[in-house]
Chain A
Amino acid sequence: MLTFVAPVWLFGILLVPVIRWLHRGGRHLRAVPVSRLGLWRRAAASSPAAGERRPPDPAWRRRALMTALLVVALAGPQLPEQRTDITLWIDDSLSMLTREEHGTRFADGLAQVRTLLAEVPHANVDVRTLGDPWHSLGSLSDANIAAVVAGAGRKRPSAPPAALLLGDRMHWLLTDGAHAALFEWPGGSRPDRIVQLAGVTRNVGLERISARRSLNDPERYDVSLKVTNGGTASETRVVIIAADSGELARSDLRLDPGAFTLVTASIPASAKVRATLQPGDALAEDDEIVLDLGPLHRRRIAIDAKCPPALRAAVAAHPALAQAEQGASDVEAVLDCGTRSVIGGAASIRILANRTASRPSGPVQWSSAVPESRRIRLDAERMQVAARLEARPGDVILLAAGDEPLIVSRAGASQLLETSLDFSSEEALRGPEIPLLVNLMFERILGGPLLDAIATVDRGAGSARVAPSERTGASTSARAPTVSRSLRDWTQPFVIAALLVLLWELFALALQAYRSTNYAGAETR
């Protein structure tokens, strides 16, 4: 039955007879100019003296209808609607891509879900994933399912948050049961229905790959690979590590159920490394893993020929820096000691030396802009200053001696760092400060740590597990669907209907004006 949010608006229906009364004068007729009205007196359509009542202008029906529709829309009409609200929680872990007898677990599970939903009257399904529970995907459409499949394994799934487990909805769970934590719902609540598929129980997967520069040879990378047996039987696999140049290493493995092993290899520097398990299994997605080694490559630095040998040696010894050839333009940073011209867009360190080197005028101290852990202990007795630095507004002083800046990060579009420290003094050569300062300054202008960089791809612990957890074996339950009675707002259809009537009215008025204009034109021709 139709109900209203604000029924007081319905009093506006009383306007309908008023509108009819306002149109009592009869239909709006076309006006025809005549030279003398008296000539037509005997042709009058009706005689007021005879008391004849003319019918109201038929346009009143249109206007009354529009008014009535608007009044009803303002009253907020609502119609009761039988609906079963269901939230379908989909486990989007990587194991859901395991191929079963007919298809992936996703495909089989969704087919089952659709079959079950067909038995529920007036089902209103809201799809959410356990990897991103706060994001509602909407209905169970093919496009939404394709998005779920494409994002499988990218986020670690977890049990739904309590705020989304509303009591007026049913909660269904589609999972393979490989991760027991997904059944530990907050507040002791449980899914109303669990659709679980897990036929395949054997899988070995690559869970993690990481790489770092070799400590002995910066031109090589040390690669570490974690291989896990996520199935229920012992497995034998061959791990092949390859790069763009081809296969680099191969290792035979035997893994017990639930066990993992780490495979290490030293490979030459390359753009990426790929690890593959052979033979493949039902979950092909974790049989291969690719690691981008771009973050580990050595940064190309252009060094001014006038730079002191100590600086050149520090750059040469740095594992993350590589000196570029003279005249190279594809450098990432420039070490300028007075003659090097600035290369467009490249970060620069400028070593200033325009006076005789002297001891700093005060105690050396680091700015708060340099983290405590990155600060280098400097011996003021072995330091000398060869220029006078001036800090400008917006500059960041990194190191100062008393009130005299020693290292300044200049404000501007390109990264520029200037220092007045003298790197050519014999006292400075005796300590480890120069390599450390060079590292600090290059980290500053290149925007990240240069030492100990590690590149990794981690699919998470348990990502290779495909066999259902023992704790989930008896957890398939089905609560009888509860049909909720909700009210559907019908304001919009009424507003649309009123707008259509308004368009009708405007069209009728335009037609009337057009006819009148045409008639008047014909009369005056």
Chain B
Amino acid sequence: MATQVLIRAALPSESELQSFARAAAQLLVERLPHAQGSRTVNRRAGVGIQHLDHRDYAAGDEVRHIDWRQTARRRRPIIRRFESESVSDWTLVLDASSSMAVHGAAKWRAAVRVGAAMSYALLELGHRVGLLAFGGHVLSEVPRGRGQHHYAAIARRLVELQPARAGERSELGVCARHLHGAASVFAISDFLADDEMRRDLSALLQRCTALHALQVSDATETELQAAGEFDLVDVETGARMQARAGEDANARATGERAAMTARLRSFCARSGIAFTDWDVAQSWQHTLLRHLIQARSLC
């Protein structure tokens, strides 16, 4: 799948995407997490008789599916792909609030990478994928679509998006009104809110067939580099609080963050939401694969 040179710098490389897509294909095809009311959608690459498109031959592909005419024309082995008998709709929900932009926007860059990888892998399997970026309201929306060109559109939008440095709140619930039809939702956020966005997740769960929650966290956001007294400013609300920085304060903040994660994890387990906490220092491929494996077991 060709991607624009312009967006390659910010997104995973094509080889990384392909590698991840191949690894995730089995997890996304064989047993997709679903909930009651899911529907079967056509045009998914897989086992079928309806021709979908072509792609380069890879080791392990069926030899009988090689399209000899295209192989002769392109001078490399090309195989035919057929529509799967069942595909589904996916919506990636991406948190673009100001809390994602602190500490060098490490969380935001990680979220963009994960969003691009998930959309690539899902589109590769023939699913229809849409994108919603939210802050205090829906900041950007890419309607569902399929195919290589649609990944290019999603990737371009991901590169263009920049979370505001301050003042942009996290209102995941506003995305519920933008979910139409039966779709699986993959929410990527730091879930930093008063109730860890549990109420918003509940609202989303009512409007989708399956809900994934990937919590992006950054260990440095609970570590102040300098010691002494500071005026801490909440980048989303602008509220201020005087705090005395130091190892003790950092430990308390880390503990608070862990408690929030635990509450959210417990809520997701109760609600049937596939939840993973991801420290951005860890590999995104392993994190996503681990999440999909956990989601299979959940389903």
A: residues with CB less than 8 A from B are 26-27, 29-46, 519, 522-525
- CB pair B190–A35 under 8 Å, yes or no, is yes
Q: In chain A, what residue has the closest Cβ to B103?
A: A523
Does B32 belong to the interface (CB within 8 Å)?
no
CB distance from B243 to the nearest CB of A (A): 5
- CB pair A37–B226 under 8 Å, yes or no, is no
- The residue that A29 contacts in the complex, of B103, B221, B231, with Cβ under 8 A, is B231
CB distance from A509 to the nearest CB of B (A): 16
CB distance from B162 to the nearest CB of A (A): 13
Q: A35-B221, A38-B194, A40-B232 are in contact. Are A45 and B256 (CB under 8 A)?
A: no
- CB pair A39–B222 under 8 Å, yes or no, is yes
- CB pair A34–B235 under 8 Å, yes or no, is yes
Task: Name which of B72-80, B173-181, B246-254, B268-276 contacts chain A.
Answer: B246-254
Q: In the assembled complex, which residues on chain A have CB atoms less than 8 Å from the CB atom of B231?
A: 29-32
- CB pair A40–B103 under 8 Å, yes or no, is no
Q: A32-B224, A33-B166, A38-B256 are in contact. Are A44 and B233 (CB under 8 A)?
A: no
Q: A523-B103, A524-B103 are in contact. Are A43 and B252 (CB under 8 A)?
A: yes
CA–CA, A69 and B61, complex, Å: 89
CB distance from A481 to the nearest CB of B (A): 65
Q: In chain B, what residue has the closest Cβ to A34?
A: B232
Q: In the assembled complex, which residues on chain B have CB atoms less than 8 Å from the CB atom of A43?
A: 243-245, 248-249, 252-253
- CB pair A39–B230 under 8 Å, yes or no, is no
Q: In chain B, what residue has the closest Cβ to A54?
A: B242
- The residue that B232 contacts in the complex, of A26, A27, A32, A46, with Cβ under 8 A, is A32
Q: In the assembled complex, which residues on chain A have CB atoms less than 8 Å from the CB atom of B240?
A: 31
Does B229 belong to the interface (CB within 8 Å)?
yes
Q: A44-B242, A519-B226, A524-B104 are in contact. Are A36 and B99 (CB under 8 A)?
A: yes
CA–CA, A35 and B221, complex, Å: 7
Q: List 11 A-B contacts (CB under 8 A).
A: A27-B229, A31-B230, A31-B232, A35-B99, A35-B221, A37-B233, A37-B239, A39-B192, A41-B241, A44-B241, A523-B225
Q: In the assembled complex, which residues on chain A have CB atoms less than 8 Å from the CB atom of B229?
A: 27, 29, 45
- The residue that B257 contacts in the complex, of A26, A37, A39, with Cβ under 8 A, is A39
Q: In the assembled complex, which residues on chain B have CB atoms less than 8 Å from the CB atom of A35?
A: 98-100, 102-103, 107, 190, 192, 221, 234-236
Does B148 belong to the interface (CB within 8 Å)?
no
Total A-B Cβ pairs within 8 A? 104
- CB pair A29–B230 under 8 Å, yes or no, is yes
Q: In the assembled complex, which residues on chain A have CB atoms less than 8 Å from the CB atom of B190?
A: 35
Q: In the assembled complex, which residues on chain A have CB atoms less than 8 Å from the CB atom of B104?
A: 523-525
Q: In the assembled complex, which residues on chain B have CB atoms less than 8 Å from the CB atom of A39?
A: 192, 221-222, 253, 256-257, 260
CB distance from B37 to the nearest CB of A (A): 35
- CB pair A40–B249 under 8 Å, yes or no, is yes
B: residues with CB less than 8 A from A are 98-100, 102-105, 107, 165-166, 190, 192, 194, 221-222, 224-226, 229-237, 239-245, 248-249, 252-253, 256-257, 260
Q: In the assembled complex, which residues on chain B have CB atoms less than 8 Å from the CB atom of A36?
A: 99, 192, 234, 236
Majority SS of interface residues in chain B?
Answer: mixed
Q: In the assembled complex, which residues on chain A have CB atoms less than 8 Å from the CB atom of B103?
A: 35, 523-524
- CB pair A45–B244 under 8 Å, yes or no, is yes
Q: In the assembled complex, which residues on chain B have CB atoms less than 8 Å from the CB atom of A525?
A: 104
Q: In the assembled complex, which residues on chain B have CB atoms less than 8 Å from the CB atom of A30?
A: 230-231
CB distance from B165 to the nearest CB of A (A): 8
CA–CA, A325 and B61, complex, Å: 123
- CB pair A44–B102 under 8 Å, yes or no, is no
Q: In chain A, what residue has the closest Cβ to B253?
A: A39
CB distance from A47 to the nearest CB of B (A): 10
CA–CA, A339 and B8, complex, Å: 96
Q: In the assembled complex, which residues on chain A have CB atoms less than 8 Å from the CB atom of B166?
A: 33
CB distance from A523 to the nearest CB of B (A): 6
Q: In the assembled complex, which residues on chain B have CB atoms less than 8 Å from the CB atom of A41?
A: 241, 256
CA–CA, A46 and B222, complex, Å: 19
Q: In the assembled complex, which residues on chain A have CB atoms less than 8 Å from the CB atom of B249?
A: 40, 42-43
CA–CA, A38 and B237, complex, Å: 11
- CB pair B234–A34 under 8 Å, yes or no, is yes
9 nearest A-B residue pairs (beta carbon): A43-B249, A35-B99, A37-B234, A36-B192, A29-B231, A45-B242, A42-B252, A39-B253, A45-B244
Q: In the assembled complex, which residues on chain B have CB atoms less than 8 Å from the CB atom of A34?
A: 102, 221, 232-235
Chain A CB within 10 Å, residue with most, of B103, B105, B243, B253: B243
CA–CA, A329 and B235, complex, Å: 90
- The residue that A31 contacts in the complex, of B194, B221, B226, B233, with Cβ under 8 A, is B233
- CB pair B102–A37 under 8 Å, yes or no, is no
Q: In the assembled complex, which residues on chain B have CB atoms less than 8 Å from the CB atom of A524?
A: 102-105, 165
CA–CA, A45 and B252, complex, Å: 13
Q: In the assembled complex, which residues on chain B have CB atoms less than 8 Å from the CB atom of A27?
A: 229
Q: In the assembled complex, which residues on chain B have CB atoms less than 8 Å from the CB atom of A31?
A: 230-233, 240
| With A32-B230, A34-B102 already in contact, 4 other A-B pairs whose C-beta atoms are closer than 8 Å | A34-B232, A35-B98, A39-B260, A40-B243
Q: In chain A, what residue has the closest Cβ to B257?
A: A39
CB distance from B185 to the nearest CB of A (A): 23
CA–CA, A523 and B221, complex, Å: 9
CA–CA, A42 and B245, complex, Å: 11
CA–CA, A519 and B194, complex, Å: 27
CA–CA, A31 and B231, complex, Å: 5
CA–CA, A26 and B236, complex, Å: 24
CB distance from B193 to the nearest CB of A (A): 8
CB distance from B223 to the nearest CB of A (A): 11
Q: In the assembled complex, which residues on chain A have CB atoms less than 8 Å from the CB atom of B234?
A: 34-37
CA–CA, A316 and B105, complex, Å: 105
CB distance from B11 to the nearest CB of A (A): 22
Q: In the assembled complex, which residues on chain A have CB atoms less than 8 Å from the CB atom of B221?
A: 34-35, 39
